[in-house]
Amino acid sequence: MQKELSAEHPLLRITIGGVNQVGYDSGNAAIMAGRKLAWMQDIDTDQNSNGEVWDDWQAVWRDVFVLDGANSKVNLYNLTVHDLRTPANYAELKSILIDSAMVSQKPFTNESIAVDVDGNGIVAPRDALLVINRLNSGGGGTIAPPTGTSISEYIDVDGNLIVAPLDALRVINVLNQRTGGGEGEAAAPASGPMLEESFGSEAATGELPVGAVRNALLEPVSAHEWFFAQWGSEDGSGIGEPLLGTRLRRPR
Ligand SMILES: [Ca+2]
Ligand SMILES: [Ca+2]
Ligand SMILES: [Ca+2]
Ion ligand 3 residues within 5 Å by Cβ: 156, 158, 160, 162, 167
Q: What are the start-end ranges of the E strands in the chain?
A: 14-20, 38-41, 63-67, 73-78, 141-142, 162-163, 225-229
Domain boundaries, the chain: 2-106+222-229, 125-216
What is the per-residue pLDDT across 132-156, written as a single tens digit (0 to 9) for each?
Answer: 999 999 999 999 999 999 999 999 9
Determine the Cα–Cα distance for residues 78 and 124; give it in Å rounded to an integer.
48
pLDDT of residue 248: 38
The ligand that comes nearest to the alpha carbon of residue 163 is 3
Backbone angles phi, psi at 105, to 5 degrees: -100, -20
Instruction: Report CA(236)–ligand 1 centroid distance (Å).
Output: 18
DSSP string, 67-101: E-TTS-EEEEEETTTS-TTSHHHHHHHHHHHHHHH
What integer is the mean pLDDT of 64-88? 97
Q: Rounded CA gap, 95 and 65, in Å?
A: 14
The rounded Å distance from CA 203 to ligand 2 centre is 10
pLDDT for the residue numbered 180: 63
Q: How far is the CA of 28 from the centre of ligand 1 (A)?
A: 19
User: What global pTM score does this model have?
Assistant: 0.71
Mean pLDDT to the nearest integer, 184-207 = 36
What is the pLDDT, as a whole number, of residue 179?
A: 73
How much distance in Å is there from the Cα of 27 to the middle of ligand 2? 53
CA separation for the pair 37, 17 (Å, rounded):
6
**Ligand 1 centroid distance, CA of 47 (Å):** 5
